[in-house]
């Protein structure tokens, strides 16, 4: 009897170990712990705190919408933060929520993706999954999660169209790139639906028809609301572009003769178009192979292949190779190939014609690639296209696994490099400056700043509004419609003198640059200097201002 009990106990232990202490669970746990350590040691920069400040300082949902009008981002991420900010004003809450989403993404990869263990491990700790869309709290992380959730729902045996339509509607309201991806995924879903129920003549019952109608309505509503949110900033950008072109035309007509006016502008326009196209093409290589500039302390958001003309040309050629290779990876699944081409080229086109962006934006190309890999591995094969390229397809298929694993390996190495750099060095000096103000018991002082863009993270850490001299008002987040600048330090000093003339208490002035001139009417003393961060421009100089 005792022997039987021992055997049962041992069996239960083995069952527990195999169920809960598996490789996949350990991978998820390690990711979460490293992410937690990462955000504890990560100093947020202005784009991170911008979303938090908008959510924190919006008293109602109407306020939130008004404050978001000119952000160029849809409001799903801000809505999440709006709810969190009702419970706490500590921005760490946003960071913690962010890594929970990142961990959920890794959970989907590890538990449900069709990749092997090595691929799952490399992908979980890739540059975008582990660093860019994990430690840096932005809405792109939410976009990644929703795309992966779509892949999981779409590749299930029985597709829940209500759940998948809700996922697409949320994805459309994450950011512009997610909106583009959402449209491509919606088209893929529609094509799949047509193939299943119309070409194969599988009849739909009444319940299924109603379900599809509701799903269609949800997706259309989500996309429409997303576009509606972007209209104000689109109008603003158009007006600014028109004004810029008018001013350039006026300048050219005043400085050039009539013959030059007809030739030079056209040549300049052609050069600009080619440069932008080259940049848009290189984003493929930069997103698939995000090798940081290892030779530069300010490595973030730069690819080492952007250092010289030779490497720029080389990365453009590599981009074409990657595109061609990827096309042949998906050529046996036409539906996925269409998704890859539409998703990739819509982002490239947007980058070329509208917004060039940075690595964090271009990472959406890598998201499209991963989504296509996931879906293609679980899709039925077809030779409708590949039969015309049999030799090329067979040749490239030999290197398909090596191609994928090489990209994922480079991604993982880049991810750990960026993570370790952020762990060792300050990402921004905003937190250090805020900590200094708090430790010196200066947070109750009247705080002034030149402009809102650089200094706004300090407002988030201090949980206090700052008086922005350029705008002549108290504020926290930066408001984009009408950017204002102080032309020089003489103008700055004059404005400061006017502001504190009748103020007997000590004031603080926070700048992103050192003062080189002094006031004749005020005593301005440098009391804190915070420089050398990964985000180079986020250095701070803190001055005390007193009436003598």
φ and ψ at residue 345, rounded to 5 degrees: -75, -25
Q: Does one domain contain both 359 and 508?
A: no
Q: Does one domain contain both 509 and 391?
A: no
> Which range marks the domain in which residue 329 is found?
260-419
Contact 446, 503 (CB under 8 A): yes
Residue 214 is assigned to a structural domain of this protein: no
Strands laid side by side in the 540-546 sheet? 473-475, 466-468, 446-449, 507-511, 540-546, 523-530
Look at the chain and report how many structural domains it folds into.
Answer: 2
Contact 172, 223 (CB under 8 A): yes
Q: Does one domain contain both 288 and 410?
A: yes
Q: Does one domain contain both 297 and 394?
A: yes
Residue 216 is assigned to a structural domain of this protein: no
**For residue 75, how far is the Cα from the chain centroid?**
14
Q: Does one domain contain both 530 and 450?
A: yes
Contact 182, 233 (CB under 8 A): no
Residue 52 is assigned to a structural domain of this protein: no
In this prediction, residue 456 carries a pLDDT of 92
In this prediction, residue 399 carries a pLDDT of 86
SS3 of 210-257: HHHHHHHHHHHHHHHHHHHHHHHHHHHHHHHHHHHHHHHHHHHHHHCC
Share of the chain above pLDDT 90, in %: 60
Residue 28 is assigned to a structural domain of this protein: no
Residue 480 banded pLDDT, cuts 50, 70, 90: low
Residue 240 pLDDT greater than 90, yes or no? no
pLDDT in tens, 302-313: 888 887 888 888
Q: Does one domain contain both 413 and 301?
A: yes
Round to whole Å and give the CA distance between 205 and 357. 47
Q: Does one domain contain both 479 and 530?
A: yes
Tell me, what DSSP letter sits at residue 42? P
Residue 167 is assigned to a structural domain of this protein: no
Residue 62 is assigned to a structural domain of this protein: no
Round to whole Å and give the CA distance between 497 and 479. 25
Residue 304 is assigned to a structural domain of this protein: yes
Which of 363, 384, 419 is the last residue before a domain boundary?
A: 419
Residue 4 banded pLDDT, cuts 50, 70, 90: low
Contact 57, 476 (CB under 8 A): yes
Average pLDDT over residues 506-521: 88
Q: Does one domain contain both 269 and 403?
A: yes
In this prediction, residue 259 carries a pLDDT of 47
Would you mind telling me the total number of residues written for the chain in this entry?
548
Q: Does one domain contain both 399 and 472?
A: no
Round to whole Å and give the CA distance between 465 and 476. 5
How far is the CA of 528 from the CAs of 44, 88, 155, in angstroms?
Answer: 19, 29, 56
- The residue written with tokens 């705190």 in the block is 49
Which of 419, 444, 466 is the last residue before a domain boundary?
A: 419
Share of the chain above pLDDT 70, in %: 88
Q: Does one domain contain both 474 and 403?
A: no
Residue 518 pLDDT greater than 70, yes or no? yes
Report which of residues 507 and 110 the model is more confident about.
110
Report which of residues 248 and 366 the model is more confident about.
366
Average pLDDT over residues 337-356: 94
Which of 355, 388, 419 is the last residue before a domain boundary?
A: 419
- The residue written with tokens 């960026």 in the block is 418
Average pLDDT over residues 103-117: 97
Separation of first and last alpha carbons in the chain: 92
Report which of residues 301 and 484 the model is more confident about.
301
Residues paired with residue 511 on neighbouring β-strands, in sequence order: 541
Residue 384 pLDDT greater than 90, yes or no? no
Report which of residues 91 and 16 the model is more confident about.
91
Tell me, what DSSP letter sits at residue 470? T
Residue 284 is assigned to a structural domain of this protein: yes
**Residues in Cβ contact with 502 at an 8 Å cutoff, skipping those fewer than 6 apart:** none
Contact 287, 410 (CB under 8 A): no
Q: Does one domain contain both 343 and 362?
A: yes
pLDDT in tens, 262-285: 555 667 778 888 889 999 999 999
Instruction: Read off the tokens for 398.
Output: 């030999």
Q: Does one domain contain both 264 and 411?
A: yes
């Amino acid at each position: 009897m005792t022997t039987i009990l021992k055997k049962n106990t041992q069996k239960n232990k083995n069952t527990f170990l195999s169920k809960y202490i598996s490789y996949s669970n350990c991978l998820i746990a390690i990711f979460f712990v490293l992410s937690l350590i990462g955000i504890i040691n990560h100093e947020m920069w202005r784009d991170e705190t911008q979303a938090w400040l908008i959510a924190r300082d919006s008293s109602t949902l109407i306020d939130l919408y008004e404050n978001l009008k000119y952000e160029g981002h849809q409001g799903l991420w801000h809505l999440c933060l709006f709810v969190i900010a009702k419970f706490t004003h500590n921005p760490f809450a946003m960071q913690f929520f962010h890594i929970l989403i990142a961990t959920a993404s890794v959970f989907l990869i590890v538990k449900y993706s069709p990749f092997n263990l090595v691929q799952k491990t490399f992908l979980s700790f890739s540059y975008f999954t582990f660093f860019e869309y994990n430690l840096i709290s932005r809405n792109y992380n939410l976009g990644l999660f929703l795309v992966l959730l779509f892949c999981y729902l779409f590749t299930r045996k029985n597709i829940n169209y209500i759940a998948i339509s809700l996922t697409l509607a949320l994805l459309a309201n994450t950011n512009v790139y997610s909106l583009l991806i959402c449209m491509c995924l919606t088209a893929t879903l529609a094509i799949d639906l047509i193939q299943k129920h119309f070409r194969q003549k599988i009849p739909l019952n009444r319940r299924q028809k109603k379900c599809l109608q509701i799903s269609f309505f949800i997706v259309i509503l989500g996309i429409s609301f997303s576009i509606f949110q972007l209209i104000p900033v689109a109008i603003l950008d158009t007006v600014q572009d028109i004004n810029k072109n008018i001013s350039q035309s006026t300048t050219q007509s005043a400085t050039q003769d009539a013959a030059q006016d007809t030739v030079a502008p056209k040549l300049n326009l052609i050069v600009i178009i080619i440069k932008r196209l080259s940049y848009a093409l290189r984003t493929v290589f930069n997103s698939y192979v995000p090798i940081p500039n290892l030779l530069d302390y300010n490595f973030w958001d730069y690819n080492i292949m952007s250092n010289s003309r030779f490497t720029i040309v080389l990365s453009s050629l590599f981009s074409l190779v990657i595109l061609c290779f990827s096309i042949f990876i998906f050529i046996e699944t036409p539906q996925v190939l269409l998704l890859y081409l539409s998703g990739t080229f819509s982002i490239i086109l947007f980058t070329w014609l509208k917004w060039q962006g940075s690595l964090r934006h271009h990472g959406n190309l890598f998201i499209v690639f991963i989504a296509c890999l996931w879906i293609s591995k679980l899709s039925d094969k077809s030779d409708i296209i590949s039969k015309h390229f049999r030799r090329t397809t067979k040749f490239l298929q030999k290197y398909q696994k090596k191609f994928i694993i090489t990209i994922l390996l480079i991604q993982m190495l880049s991810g750990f490099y960026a993570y370790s750099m952020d762990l060792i060095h300050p990402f921004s000096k905003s937190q250090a400056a805020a900590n200094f103000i708090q430790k010196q018991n200066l947070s109750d002082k009247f705080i002034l700043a030149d402009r809102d863009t650089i200094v706004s993270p300090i407002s988030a850490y201090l949980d206090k509004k700052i008086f922005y001299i350029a705008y002549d008002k108290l504020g926290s987040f930066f408001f984009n419609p009408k950017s204002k600048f102080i032309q020089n330090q003489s103008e700055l000093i004059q404005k400061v003198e006017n502001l504190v003339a009748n103020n007997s208490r000590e004031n603080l002035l926070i700048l992103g640059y050192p003062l080189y001139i002094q006031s004749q009417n005020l005593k301005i003393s440098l009391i804190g200097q915070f420089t050398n961060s990964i985000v180079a421009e986020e250095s701070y100089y803190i001055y005390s201002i007193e009436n003598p």
